[in-house]
Amino acid sequence: MAPKPFEVTDVLAAVNACTTAAARRRVFVTGAAGFIGFHTAKALLDRGDDVVIVDEMNDYYDVKLKQSNLDWLTTTYGDRVRVYIGDLCDQQLVRRVLKETKPDSMVHLAARAGVRPSIDNPLMYIQANVVATMVLLDACREFGIKKFVYASSSSVYGGSMKESFSEEDIVDFPVSPYAATKKSCELLAHTYHHLHGLDTIGLRFFTVYGPRGRPDMAPFKFMDRIARDVAIDQYGDGSSSRDYTFIDDIVQGVVLSLDRGQGCEVFNLGRGTPVLLTDFIAIIEGLVGKKAKINLLPDQPGDVPRTSADISKAEKLLGYKPTTPLEQGLAKTWEWYSEFYNVAPVMSP
């Protein structure tokens, strides 16, 4: 079936209120066929920026979903969007795109995601995450692009049991190759700021969810399986917790970083309100109108027991203000899922 667009209703108001003085740009956005990249590109285009997209279109998850994202952007915004398909590790491709499009700034959201798969194929993660970031940073140096905003991850905090994770915490003990690649990207960004004066703004995302989300992530996977009466896999006893952050709030932080970020900084983008896995599943059960069938499995290597973002730095320096409660965000996600996949909701008794 033809994909139906999901309109982000809250992002523009938040972004425009904070960025009315920002000059309109041509922004190079990597990974815009994917989840966070799509919504970021949409927000930038909606406020008047032009966007240059480079995406590898790999098959880590359903390529049809990625293609529907690109099709929607190009159909909606026409020639204000330029799309290139290719590997970001290809220096010649990156140079050609930059020569042809002359962007003002770069937002690097492409990556090979997933903690567990990185354990099985670490070299792929080094290539896709570290080498690609190196190529882009060096291209910024070569072409005089002074602003580089990039996706890091809450996974850099490893197995920390602190009440909340601060950017001041030591993050030298990653527990998965994926986390190690994200920490490596932060080090490379610092190096290019030090050597070449590039403004590098790293964003440690905390469990992002929402419409058009990745099918391998828990929100999508749980909704899909509960709706189809297929058992979900629960790792551990359900006491693990995550700081779930709605996509609108993440995009607000990305765009604010593009407009206000200076120097070499790293920011947490989350809500600061971790939720137990058992409570998370219960909310989804209520939305879908069915009880989950659960396969209880042991904790997985590389997983962490909890995440919780201290967002005070982003609030102070960027004006970041997440506003979407988990229940509201999951309701929007379920609404999109039901429409996109033509699922008839079951009313709770």
Report the C-alpha gap between 87 and 71 in whole angstroms: 19
Identify the H or E element spanning 55: strand 50-55
Nearest to 267 by CA among 306, 212, 322: 322
- Residue 299 neighbours by CB distance under 10 Å: 12
Beta-bridged to residue 269, according to DSSP, are 205
Q: Which residues pair with 202 in a beta bridge?
A: 150, 266
Q: Which of 313, 346, 302, 348 is nearest to 168 (CA)?
A: 313
| Distance of alpha carbon 195 from alpha carbon 137, whole angstroms | 11
What residues have CB less than 8 Å from 251, skipping those under 6 apart? 8, 11, 15, 36, 39, 40, 43
Catalytic residue, chosen from 178, 192, 209, 337, is 178
Q: Which helix (DSSP H) or strand (DSSP E) does residue 147 occupy?
A: strand 147-153
DSSP label of 47: T
- Alpha-carbon 158 to chain mean position: 18
Count Cα atoms within 13 angstroms, Cβ side, for 317.
19
Q: Determine phi and psi for 322, rounding to 5 degrees.
A: -70, 140
Instruction: Check if 178 is active-site.
Output: yes
What's the Cα-to-Cα distance from 67 to each of 111, 148, 217, rounded to whole Å?
17, 26, 19
Residues 103 and 26 sit within 8 Å (Cβ to Cβ):
yes
**What are 296's strand-pairing partners?**
234
State the catalytic residues: 178
